[in-house]
Amino acid sequence: MIFYSEEKGHYSHMVRIVLAEKDIACEIKEFDPEGKLPEELPTINPYNKLPVLVDREVTIYEPRVILEYLDERFPHPPLLPIYPNDKAECRLLIHRIEKDWLPVVDRMMSPKISQKEFDSLKKELVGLVSGIVLVLKEKPYFMSDEFTLVDCYMSAILYRLPYLGVSLPNTKSFASLSAYQEKLFSRPSFDLSLTCLLYTSPSPRDRTRSRMPSSA
């Protein structure tokens, strides 16, 4: 199995979390999209972008499809609930993240974004983050007693908040969110999912990289 991963991309990060969570033996090839992409990329992904998973004769290039494929191909530990109604609810949460959160993060991560648009989207992202505080008080994980694919999505997004200029207030009202982040980031799989690139700057005009231990 080979995983073509974007070093700093949140979609690739989600997949690396699942690979680590399930302890899947996989060759991970990291690429910087601002540098040279793999020469074979156009032949394995008609959209010519990362991430891409190649598992023997199967090639998968849509992040959500990759995540669900890995969960079905390697069922332990399960990252989607067993019962159909619970599984549907989990998939609906993922759908909402894909519709509400990811377009904002995608655009903010773009090197071509203007400062004005970045600031506007930052306010929208702050609103989204604030909106989950009460939800996180109900269950150990995101509307679940167990770690699921929803948490893989949220791990990759929440980890990038400092880079996007979003800091959590150190107040009692945000305690549930801080505790949730700590729970996600302290998982061994999360540490193993990190690459050598870490974002440090909240501004699209002054984004720099610093090094951190490579584990993926």
Q: What CATH number does residue 67 fall under?
A: 3.40.30.10
Classify residue 74 by its DSSP letter.
Answer: S
Question: Model confidence over 137-166: pLDDT tens digits?
Answer: 999 999 999 999 999 999 999 999 999 999
Position 12 scores a pLDDT of: 96
Residue 196: pLDDT band by 50, 70, 90 thresholds? low
Residue-range definition of the domain harbouring residue 160: 84-188
Count of structural domains within the chain = 2
Q: In what order do the strands lie in the sheet with 58-60?
A: 27-31, 2-6, 52-55, 58-60
- Residues shown for the chain: 216
Q: Do both 92 and 15 map to the same domain? A: no
User: Do 30 and 107 reside in the same domain of the chain?
Assistant: no
Q: What is the mean pLDDT of the chain?
A: 88
In-domain check, residue 216 = no
Evaluate whether residue 42 is within a structural domain.
yes
Q: What confidence score (pLDDT) does residue 202 get?
A: 39
Q: How far apart are CA 17 and CA 104, in angstroms?
A: 21
Q: Is the pTM of this model over 0.85?
A: yes
pLDDT at 207 exceeding the cut of 50:
no
Q: Which of 92, 205, 204 is nearest to 148 (CA)?
A: 92
Residue 41 placed within a domain? yes
- Residue type at 125? L
Q: Check whether 170 has a pLDDT greater than 50.
A: yes
Give bridge partners of residue 6 from the DSSP assignment: 31
Which residue, chain included where needed, has tokens 């079905």? Answer: 72
Q: Can you give the CATH number for the domain in which 173 is found?
A: 1.20.1050.10
How confident is the model at residue 168, as a pLDDT?
81
